[in-house]
Structure 1
Amino acid sequence: MVSCSSQDMQNIGEKKHLLTTISELPQMTQDRMSALHELGIYRVSNLLKHLPTRYETHHGGMTIEAAKTILGDRDSSPELVTIETTIIKVSPGWRRGRKSKLEVAVEDETGRMHINWFNQPWVARALHPDMRIRVHGSLTMHKGFLQMNNPRWEEIDDDEPTATIEGDLRPVYRANEHISSSVIAKLISDVLDDALPEIDDHLTDEMLRELEMPKLADAYAMCHKPEEEAQAKEGRRRIAYDELLLLQLGVMMKRHHRRDTMRAPKLEWNDEIKKRIEARIPFTLTKSQQQVVEEIANDIMTSIPMNRLLQGDVGSGKTVVALHAMLMAVTCGAQAAMMAPTELLAEQHFQTISNLLKGSKVKTALLTSSLSGKDRKKLILKISEGEIDIVVGTHALLTDDVVFSNIAIAITDEQHRFGVQQRALLRNKSDDKHSIPHTLVMTATPIPRTLSLTIFGDLDVSTINGMPPGRSPITTRLVQPAQSNKVYQFMLELIHKGQQGYVVVPLVEETESGLKSAIAHAESLRTGFLQGASVGVVHGRMKSEEREKTMQEFREGQLDVLVATTVIEVGVDISNATMMIIEHADRFGLAQLHQLRGRVGRGTLPGVCALIASPTTEDALLRLETIVETTDGFRIAERDLEIRGPGELFGAKQSGIAPFKVARLPRDFELLRLARRNAVKWIKQDPTLQHSPLLKSRLMHAHGEALGLGDVA
């Protein structure tokens, strides 16, 4: 049984309106309650946080005849009007392409008009003749008849007058099939005056004056009942700032804890060690690579744990820089680990590192879930006794039984696929809870600055600019499916010249979707377009031995073409592979397409990438146009952010961090920078927010679990 303290009871008493469940509200039906639950609304406090998505200029109720005068001689008008009408006739139908159309004839005492709903078949089930409805939308004139297309509507109930704002501004809320925006507006309007005084502010009056922002309660009032749009923007800005501030405080709290209370092995770096490591690398690093190596070296020479993000475009040479970092640990008698998100990528890294260290005394090992029980036990024992210097692996490195003897550097590749908590787990391999290894996080998906301050805000950032010498440019073309035979003919010509290529498809096996699959497409190429060529297949469902055997055959030139799924997205480095064909390219994300394309053009021969697609959505077309226009990963990352928004990019799901509800990036970038500056100052003065209990409580509720703040605060 959970007991409540007198303080808890007092708080509940003080918040009786905010904590009221929506089931207790007047005129609440079961259907409405279910619809609100679908929107994440369970209490009055959730209702208040459900901000309008936009505002409409509202002319108030008018007759059909009066509405005609607004239109005048024009065929259409963007102004929004509300008309109360009675339904005469409901005519469901279909348009071209099997899209639904509902035509409803309505009238009032002054005339008749038509209302059309497109692709909303559920509306037909809700309407019937003689029903009185209120419609709200813009007007058009069609064949001399007044009409509205896809207006918002509600049944007129004399006991429930619609909620309109004083003046002519009306909020529009995110709604669903079972509850309209205007009903939500009425519910909010009814509770607002009682609930607002119960909202406590975690910012002081002095802070608000400095920020030139309203109190939190006033901000919610401005959003729900603005007198003008500028007031709504001011309220929204304050709420967006709070969202950004909470995340920045969490990130800074974590960073301060790491630097202040945690420690890592202090490693050496001098000219002698530098020469010993350089002697192992068969080529000279670029200036940019050398600069990043020095940044890493400066971090590891102190006992403050390094927490650095290494970003660089596809093929910029991050693995070699990571190897430098690991060898810094090995030369000082310590261990290093590198973790990759897939077995194929882990195998690739292990292969690259083993080749570079051939003939040296450095002992390397690969640990993935494919390793058999007996071999795994042997390897884990060697790791724990310090017999292995460098361990490359997958999430298998995160299991409790993997304990290092003396780990000094932990590297995570393609960080955004793991999530913040897993990033933390890889570090905690020591008995001493305050001792952690230096951490380097690598990503080949350049991170827009707006996001590097959010999800990755606790990391220092190093960037490798440019490509290693000798890399060739890649030409990218968008090709319609009808022209695909010409693309494969070109690939065959390259094969006859001794070059190799990839064909990427979205699926492993055939389904009824009509999309090409790796197994079936490889077979059709062997007997069709690429007859006479040696075609292999690789995908994520293969056993690791079988997959590695196929990859080795491709490396050695025994296979001309590799048909693959996105399993080859990162890490595959075969310089003789010069052409890639991506089937159904519109089905892949922008970052994925850029990563895939980066598998070609890795040698001295020019690379070619053909995107076979017939995009049907605007977003898909934008993605493909972007990939054709540029090979610059940083520009592509910014465009991806514009197209998809930050909630999708870098997977808020993978990171575990709740997406922003009000703040919008990159639009609110300046607000983010302001929040970051203020969070830095705040945590410097009060590292665990012990002097700001309300703010700390809200931070822990919002991000405590995702950011792993339990041990910090």
Structure 2
Amino acid sequence: MPDPASISLTSPLAPIKGIGQRTADQLAALGLTNVGKLIAHIPLRHERHEAEANVRELLPGQIVSTRGEIVATRPVGNGKRSRFEAVLMDATGRLDLVWFNAPYMRDKVIPGMRVRVQGKAKSFGYGLQLTNPKLEPLRPEHSEPDRREARIRAVYPASEEIDSARIERAIDAVLDEALPQLEDHLPEPFRVARDLPELREAYRMLHRPESMEEAARAVRRLAYDELLMLQVSVALKRAELRTRLRAPALPWTEKLDAHIRARFPFQLTDAQNDVIKEITADLSSPVPSNRLIQGDVGSGKTVVALYAMLLAVADGHQAALMAPTELLAEQHFASISRMLGGSRVRVALLTASVTGDARDGLLSALREGRIDLLIGTHALITDQVEFKSLAVAVIDEQHRFGVHQRAALRSKGAAPSDASAGAQSVTPHVLVMTATPIPRTLAITIFGDLDVSTIRSLPAGRKPIRTRVVQSPQRDEVYSFVEKRLEKGQQAYVVVPAIDASEDASGADIRGVTDVLEQLTKGPLKSRRVEAVHGRLPSRDRERIMQSFRDARIDVLVATTVIEVGVDVPNAAIMVIEQADRFGLSQLHQLRGRVGRGTHESVCILIADPTTEEARARLAAIAATSDGFALAEKDFELRGMGELFGSRQSGTPAFRVADLVRDRDLLAMARRDAMDWVARSPTLDRPEESLLKRRVLKAHGQGLALGDVG
């Protein structure tokens, strides 16, 4: 066994006294392969364990702990009302135990075994009973542990092979030697001003807290560190963008402004004009713009982005718009081409469906500057795509792309204009758009390197959408209502959660497009022209169906969420969303935004049989308001960041300690501190900052493309 003094943070675990090979192998399966990783294993929570007492000493109304032998057990009832009862005895008396709706306990609690239990005692007959107590088997192969004193205990993420208690013992075996080796990247005056404990003390309080208050202080320090690392990385990226890159400065004149606005078939709102002022101020500077345009459904973001792209074209440059799906790219191409009809602006569409000679010709024209405005999907960032002079790049539905795609589109700018040392690289101005209103907390966290413009008002003439929630037994009434609206010449969407019908993990049915299409055409809408559109259709068929729907040659469109963004059919005034409880709140709001775009009074009907409180809360919220920003905040509270944006979305930070709902104030503090720090030291090159810089680059260097900063 190694001398404790020789243990380092990189030491393997197997040779350490109190751990051994078997435990080390089980820890390795959790990714805990050395001392440093072991002490960085964050508890799920902390629990107060009460001091043990004899059964006779226990008092009703208190959290109590005792040990004894299970002398009898019995299951009672079946189903959700079942319970499992056991009797524990020690030398001083009897204690009754009961677990509700826990049939698995019959295999875990067996007469003759010795256990330690903890729970809230209540009077029961002539004695006491614990309901759903925590139970710890006392293994016969080990000598029984001493009677426990009151303490706070960390509960760790564990596995079937190794439980939390054994992880706790492994951490305890290395903690005293490991803590002195932890270096703090925050200077003492900085920590003291923010009431943050030293790093090694924070880890001591995390693993061996003397009180719940100490555990909370440890969590606060480590959560702050996570948030600060991210915010410093974002601030470094902003500083790099503004000092090491330049973009074409695009001139603006009143004459040019009037010329561009003449292309729009409607007056812009005050909110749109305000955002255009912010954008033109950005684009007239050689400092590359990096701006997020967020607005509610139908607020007119595309027109604002087109204004920016036309500024580039007017100055002899090119512009690009990248959308996440072919359908949305096709929609943008159609609407922008209509607005630019008769102008000299040359617009092209590039998606995976453009192949062969057509693709080769398009790429050649792009290289030679014979295309002014290119619209497309991920195909825009493939290696073969080269612009002659890309000045403005727009990314639609930003949250569907990661930071790497944004960086790839930015790299389509020209090479350094001067090969001399220190020459600035030329890069396009970048605008990113989202119709998913982003909670302020997320805007700071995920898009913190962007300036944010918000379009809050809707274009004139938009009527509010009525939203109703009904249960599936009312489905026939819903489609009778749809039929009445179709008789008036209006059109409808029916949105379904999947392409093919299936079952979820619990065995519940999931409705599919093909089945719903068949049911409607053979049932309540059999006299109507009903078609389906979804992501598996070839783009040519999809566009044909969408155009037929726009031209009112189709009455009802059955679709998946492929229509979530970008589809604009003013005559479509009714939407039915089947199994609406299977959609997120922001997604429901996006879908609802496909109606209400014309002069008809619009209705969105959500058919749902929610089985959870969260699903009921989502449906109540969507029915109560049409404010996308309020709904985004509610969705964030209900589901958190990972669910809201997809846990695997590239560029979304994964926090082990920080909770963005709980730690909003901490995030604001970390953001202020990071901005101030990087303003003082734009590259973190001071000797005393070397540790902070290393840890920032390790945590976020790859995700935010910070390699050139370090």
Regarding TM over 0.5, the answer is yes
Pairwise CA distance, 1:127: 4.6
Instruction: Write the distance in 1 (CA, Å) between the matches of 2:275 and 2:153.
Output: 54
Deviates more, 1:655-664 or 1:577-586: 655-664
Which of the residues 690, 699, 708 maps onto 2:705? 708
Structure 2 match to 1:221 = 204
Pairwise CA distance, 1:338: 0.4
Structure 1 match to 2:305 = 322
Deviates more, 1:332-341 or 1:86-95: 86-95
Instruction: Write the distance in 2 (CA, Å) between the matches of 1:496 and 1:388.
Output: 45
Query: Any residues of structure 2 matched to 1:298-309 within 5 Å, and which?
Result: 298-309=281-292
Is 1:575 aligned to residue 566 of structure 2? no
Deviates more, 1:122-131 or 1:623-632: 122-131
Conserved? CA contact 2:238–2:449, under 8 Å: yes
- AA aligned to 2:196 is M
Is 1:469 aligned to residue 451 of structure 2? no
Which of the residues 91, 94, 97 maps onto 1:109? 91
Query: Any residues of structure 2 matched to 1:30-69 within 5 Å, and which?
Result: 36-37=27-28, 39-67=30-58
Pairwise CA distance, 1:705: 1.1
Q: Deviations over 1:126-153 (max 9, x none)?
A: 5543222222333345566644344333
- AA aligned to 2:605 is A
Instruction: Write the distance in 1 (CA, Å) between the matches of 2:88 and 2:305.
Output: 70
Query: Any residues of structure 2 matched to 1:603-642 within 5 Å, and which?
Result: 603-642=598-637
Structure 1 match to 2:68 = 85
Conserved? CA contact 2:479–2:524, under 8 Å: yes
Pairwise CA distance, 1:655: 3.1
Q: TM-score, normalised by structure 1?
A: 0.92
Deviates more, 1:101-110 or 1:614-623: 101-110
Pairwise CA distance, 1:296: 0.5
Question: What SS does the corresponding residue of 2:238 show, helix, strand or coil?
Answer: helix
Instruction: Write the distance in 1 (CA, Å) between the matches of 2:560 and 2:65.
Output: 53
Structure 1 match to 2:582 = 587
Pairwise CA distance, 1:690: 2.4
Deviates more, 1:496-505 or 1:231-240: 231-240
Q: Deviations over 1:238-264 (max 9, x none)?
A: 111111110001000011000000111
Pairwise CA distance, 1:100: 7.7
Query: Any residues of structure 2 matched to 1:99-498 within 5 Å, and which?
Result: 102-117=84-99, 124-141=106-123, 146-157=128-139, 158-159=142-143, 161=145, 168-432=151-415, 434-498=425-489
Alpha-carbon distance change, 386 to 94 in structure 1, aligned in 2, over 3 angstroms? farther
Deviates more, 1:634-643 or 1:691-700: 691-700
Instruction: Write the distance in 2 (CA, Å) between the matches of 1:526 and 1:65.
Output: 73
Instruction: Write the distance in 2 (CA, Å) between the matches of 1:178 and 1:653.
Output: 27
Question: What SS does the corresponding residue of 1:608 show, helix, strand or coil?
Answer: strand
Instruction: Write the distance in 2 (CA, Å) between the matches of 1:143 and 1:584.
Output: 48
- AA aligned to 1:148 is L
Instruction: Write the distance in 2 (CA, Å) between the matches of 1:217 and 1:621.
Output: 44
Structure 2 residues not aligned, in runs of 5+:
417-424
Question: What SS does the corresponding residue of 1:409 show, helix, strand or coil?
Answer: strand
Structure 2 match to 1:689 = 684
Instruction: Write the distance in 2 (CA, Å) between the matches of 1:684 and 1:15.
Output: 41
- AA aligned to 1:45 is G
Pairwise CA distance, 1:119: 6.0
Conserved? CA contact 1:318–1:464, under 8 Å: yes
Alpha-carbon distance change, 487 to 576 in structure 1, aligned in 2, over 3 angstroms? same
Find runs of 4+ consecutive structure 1 residues off by over 6 angstroms.
none
Q: Deviations over 1:170-227 (max 9, x none)?
A: 3333445444433333333333222111111001122222323211111122222233
Conserved? CA contact 1:652–1:658, under 8 Å: no
Pairwise CA distance, 1:379: 1.0
Question: What SS does the corresponding residue of 2:410 show, helix, strand or coil?
Answer: coil
Alpha-carbon distance change, 359 to 150 in structure 1, aligned in 2, over 3 angstroms? same
Deviates more, 1:487-496 or 1:211-220: 211-220
Question: What SS does the corresponding residue of 2:600 show, helix, strand or coil?
Answer: coil
Instruction: Write the distance in 2 (CA, Å) between the matches of 1:253 and 1:684.
Output: 9
Structure 1 residues not aligned, in runs of 5+:
1-12, 72-76
Structure 2 match to 1:546 = 541
Aligned positions, number: 691
Q: Deviations over 1:672-696 (max 9, x none)?
A: 1221122112222322222222111
Alpha-carbon distance change, 353 to 505 in structure 1, aligned in 2, over 3 angstroms? same
Alpha-carbon distance change, 29 to 373 in structure 1, aligned in 2, over 3 angstroms? farther
Alpha-carbon distance change, 133 to 38 in structure 1, aligned in 2, over 3 angstroms? farther
Alpha-carbon distance change, 495 to 37 in structure 1, aligned in 2, over 3 angstroms? farther
Conserved? CA contact 1:481–1:612, under 8 Å: yes
- AA aligned to 1:661 is R
Conserved? CA contact 1:566–1:596, under 8 Å: yes
Pairwise CA distance, 1:34: 6.2
Question: What SS does the corresponding residue of 2:235 show, helix, strand or coil?
Answer: helix
Alpha-carbon distance change, 364 to 121 in structure 1, aligned in 2, over 3 angstroms? farther
Question: What SS does the corresponding residue of 1:532 show, helix, strand or coil?
Answer: coil
Pairwise CA distance, 1:39: 4.7
- AA aligned to 2:325 is T
Conserved? CA contact 1:163–1:189, under 8 Å: no
Q: TM-score, normalised by structure 2?
A: 0.92
Alpha-carbon distance change, 33 to 153 in structure 1, aligned in 2, over 3 angstroms? farther
Pairwise CA distance, 1:520: 1.4
Question: What SS does the corresponding residue of 1:319 show, helix, strand or coil?
Answer: helix
Question: What SS does the corresponding residue of 1:321 show, helix, strand or coil?
Answer: helix
Conserved? CA contact 2:84–2:99, under 8 Å: yes
Conserved? CA contact 1:57–1:80, under 8 Å: no
Q: Deviations over 1:457-476 (max 9, x none)?
A: 00000000110000010111
Instruction: Write the distance in 1 (CA, Å) between the matches of 2:380 and 2:397.
Output: 15
Alpha-carbon distance change, 172 to 501 in structure 1, aligned in 2, over 3 angstroms? same
Instruction: Write the distance in 2 (CA, Å) between the matches of 1:338 and 1:181.
Output: 51
Q: Deviations over 1:294-332 (max 9, x none)?
A: 110000111100000000000001011111011111111
Question: What SS does the corresponding residue of 2:634 show, helix, strand or coil?
Answer: helix
Instruction: Write the distance in 1 (CA, Å) between the matches of 2:112 and 2:16.
Output: 30
Instruction: Write the distance in 1 (CA, Å) between the matches of 2:406 and 2:120.
Output: 52
- AA aligned to 2:454 is T
Structure 2 match to 1:532 = 527
Deviates more, 1:300-309 or 1:133-142: 133-142
Alpha-carbon distance change, 377 to 216 in structure 1, aligned in 2, over 3 angstroms? same
Alpha-carbon distance change, 488 to 61 in structure 1, aligned in 2, over 3 angstroms? same
Conserved? CA contact 1:87–1:105, under 8 Å: yes
Alpha-carbon distance change, 358 to 141 in structure 1, aligned in 2, over 3 angstroms? farther
